[in-house]
């Protein structure tokens, strides 16, 4: 079945540094959704990308969907301690989401 892979698994950054997580699939992704899960919390929807090559920004967060729709990325500029959490990408194939394993971001103040 569909497999979605994320790298890296963990990332430690100093506050103010940038952070990027990558989402890859061997098959074409339908739509990509990104979620953030704080420690001890539940996934919270961030954004959905639908079109090939799409780029969307939310303040310090930039989301990209690859031209071949087989990869996506989330980039955070100048991380803050409030960015701590695990970031998941998920392939939205109609009625079900296939999640990647997530990238856990830790920010040192």
Partner 1 sequence: DAGVTQSPTHLIKTRGQQVTLRCSPKSGHDTVSWYQQALGQGPQFIFQYYEEEERQRGNFPDRFSGHQFPNYSSELNVNALLLGDSALYLCASSLYTGSANEKLFFGSGTQLSVL
21 to 1, 65, 72, 88: CA distances (angstroms): 23, 12, 9, 9
3-state helix, strand and coil shares in percent for the chain, rounded to the nearest 5:
5, 55, 40
User: Which residues on neighbouring strands pair with residue 36, listed in sequence order?
Assistant: 44, 87
Minimum CB distance to partner 1, residue 27 (Å): 16
Q: Per rule CB under 8 A, is residue 66 in the interface with partner 1? A: no
Q: Per rule CB under 8 A, is residue 45 in the interface with partner 1? A: yes
DSSP 77: S
Q: Determine the interface stretch with partner 1 among 11-19, 39-47, 62-70, 77-85 (rule: CB under 8 A).
A: 39-47
Q: Determine the interface stretch with partner 1 among 14-22, 60-68, 77-85, 96-104 (rule: CB under 8 A).
A: 96-104
Q: Which residues bind partner 1 (CB under 8 A)?
A: 1, 6, 30-31, 33, 41-45, 48, 50, 88, 90, 92-102
């Amino acid at each position: 079945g569909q497999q979605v892979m994320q790298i890296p698994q963990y990332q430690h950054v100093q506050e103010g540094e940038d952070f990027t997580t990558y989402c890859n699939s061997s098959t074409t992704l339908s739509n990509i959704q990104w979620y953030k899960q704080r420690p001890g919390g539940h996934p919270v929807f961030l954004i959905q990308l639908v079109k090939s090559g799409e780029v969307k920004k939310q303040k310090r967060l930039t989301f990209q969907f690859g031209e071949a729709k087989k990869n996506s990325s989330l980039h955070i500029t100048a991380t803050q301690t409030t960015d701590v959490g695990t970031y998941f990408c998920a392939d939205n194939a109609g009625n079900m989401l296939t999640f990647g394993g997530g990238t856990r971001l830790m920010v040192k103040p």
